[in-house]
């Protein structure tokens, strides 16, 4: 493993790196565990899709959460007191405090879904009182119409692509599914995580959610997008690139909502709207992955399981379509 860039980056922080180890594949950010004389810390190369300004958001949010008694990581300042270091063509880097616990390797159980719902609700409640102007945030993430149009444009321009026929059929199925759903109500917002999938949560030995990680997208967001995207991840029967078809687990939806509303009652009676939003986001992601299949433009792909990026993206697109259709069948 080549850790030259990581070694160069970590030299900007006021500790001695004894050992640097890459953690996971990382579809977006490159993540490393750095052993220091006082214990491990996290080093990350931040994907260029994010403005470095987001670190002001992360700093404000983690400080606010910590002051409220919630477990969270914090950004470690560089030798000059900066929240990140920009190494030009070698990327933007940051260091984070190490958190205890583990990340789930497989889809959460009902009990874990309930715990995820409880912790996310507590996070939303705590962040209601934050006084911070959010900066550098990505826009257009849940502009469903834009993603649908982008897929149609790719179908028009990539007619010679070897996966064009299969994506054409999938796009037709996606549009038929969208026709059965209502637009998401964006009028009610919260300060949310922005990507609260189960892979961005830490659990303790009792399988209780104890912290949220990867706060690159934290900020104002319509609550139905925040919860819909979370439920899409928590309630799926398998991962987005699973070899076999996946479905929406209704029992996990009920457990998640039970956990959330126990701490935040504003969503009581909104079960249908939440299912609708979750289906919309699953289909939206299917559009994005289908477009990536033709344009071969996603962050990363697994060359140990798939023969090409397009094959991996197609499986992702197919799984998200199946998930969205499964939700529609239960509405």
Q: Are residues 188 and 56 in the same domain?
A: no
Transcribe 88-121 into DSSP letters: GGG-EEEEEE--SSB--SS---HHHHHHHHHHHH
Q: Are residues 129 and 191 in the same domain?
A: yes
Q: Are residues 61 and 121 in the same domain?
A: no
- Confidence at residue 177, expressed as pLDDT on a 0 to 100 scale: 98
Whole-angstrom distance, CA of residue 234 vs CA of residue 108: 6
- Confidence at residue 292, expressed as pLDDT on a 0 to 100 scale: 95
Whole-angstrom distance, CA of residue 136 vs CA of residue 119: 26
- Confidence at residue 27, expressed as pLDDT on a 0 to 100 scale: 66
- Confidence at residue 58, expressed as pLDDT on a 0 to 100 scale: 98
For helices 110-127 and 54-67, give the axis angle rounded to 10 degrees. Answer: 100
Residue 213 structure tokens:
């990680």
Q: Are residues 195 and 272 in the same domain?
A: yes
pTM of structure: 0.95
- Confidence at residue 124, expressed as pLDDT on a 0 to 100 scale: 98
Whole-angstrom distance, CA of residue 172 vs CA of residue 149: 13
The answer to whether residue 103 sits within a structural domain is: no
The answer to whether residue 102 sits within a structural domain is: no
Structure confidence by residue, pLDDT tens digits, 183-213: 999 999 999 999 999 999 999 999 999 999 9
- Confidence at residue 298, expressed as pLDDT on a 0 to 100 scale: 61
Q: How far is CA 207 from CA 59, 124, 214, 311, in A?
A: 27, 21, 19, 34
Q: Are residues 140 and 265 in the same domain?
A: yes
Q: What is the mean pLDDT of each run of 10 residues along the chain (331 residues)?
A: 86 96 81 97 96 98 98 98 97 97 96 98 98 94 94 97 97 98 95 97 97 97 97 96 94 98 93 97 97 83 88 96 97 85
- Confidence at residue 275, expressed as pLDDT on a 0 to 100 scale: 97
Exposure on the CB side of residue 327, measured as CA atoms within 13 A: 31
| Tally of domains within the chain | 2
Given 97, 121, 148, the domain boundary residue is: 97
Whole-angstrom distance, CA of residue 161 vs CA of residue 321: 21
Q: Are residues 123 and 199 in the same domain?
A: yes
Whole-angstrom distance, CA of residue 143 vs CA of residue 52: 23
Element (H or E) spanning 33, and its range? Answer: strand 30-36
Domain that holds residue 123: 110-330
Identify the bridge partners of residue 221 per DSSP, sorted by sequence position.
Answer: 190
- Confidence at residue 28, expressed as pLDDT on a 0 to 100 scale: 86
């Amino acid at each position: 493993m080549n850790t030259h860039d990581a070694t160069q980056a970590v030299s900007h922080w006021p500790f001695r790196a004894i050992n640097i180890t890459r953690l996971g594949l990382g579809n977006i950010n490159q993540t490393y565990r750095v052993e220091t004389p006082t214990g491990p810390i996290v080093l990350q190369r931040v994907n260029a899709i994010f403005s470095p300004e987001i670190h002001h958001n992360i700093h404000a949010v983690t400080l606010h959460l910590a002051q409220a008694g919630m477990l969270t990581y914090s950004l470690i300042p560089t030798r000059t007191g900066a929240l990140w270091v920009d190494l030009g063509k070698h990327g933007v880097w940051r260091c984070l405090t190490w958190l205890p616990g583990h990340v789930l390797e497989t889809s959460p159980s009902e009990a874990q879904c309930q715990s995820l719902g409880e912790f996310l609700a507590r996070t939303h409640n705590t962040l209601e009182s934050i006084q911070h102007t959010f900066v550098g945030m990505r826009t257009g993430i849940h502009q469903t119409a834009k993603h649908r149009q982008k897929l149609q444009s790719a179908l028009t321009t990539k007619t010679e692509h070897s996966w064009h026929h299969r994506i054409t059929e999938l796009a037709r199925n996606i549009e038929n599914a969208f026709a059965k759903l209502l637009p998401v109500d964006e009028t009610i917002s919260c300060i949310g995580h922005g990507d609260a999938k189960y892979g961005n949560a830490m659990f303790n030995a009792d399988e209780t959610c104890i912290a949220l990680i990867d706060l690159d997208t934290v900020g104002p967001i319509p609550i139905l997008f925040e919860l819909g995207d979370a439920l899409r991840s928590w309630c799926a029967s398998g991962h987005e690139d699973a070899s076999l078809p996946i479905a929406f687990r209704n029992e996990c939806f009920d457990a998640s909502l039970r956990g959330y509303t126990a701490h935040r009652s504003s969503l009581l009676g909104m079960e249908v709207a939440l299912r609708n939003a979750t289906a919309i986001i699953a289909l939206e992601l299917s559009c994005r992955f289908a477009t990536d299949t033709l344009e071969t433009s996603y962050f990363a792909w697994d060359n140990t399981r798939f023969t090409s990026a397009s094959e991996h993206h197609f499986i992702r697109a197919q799984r998200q379509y199946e998930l969205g259709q499964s939700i529609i069948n239960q509405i």
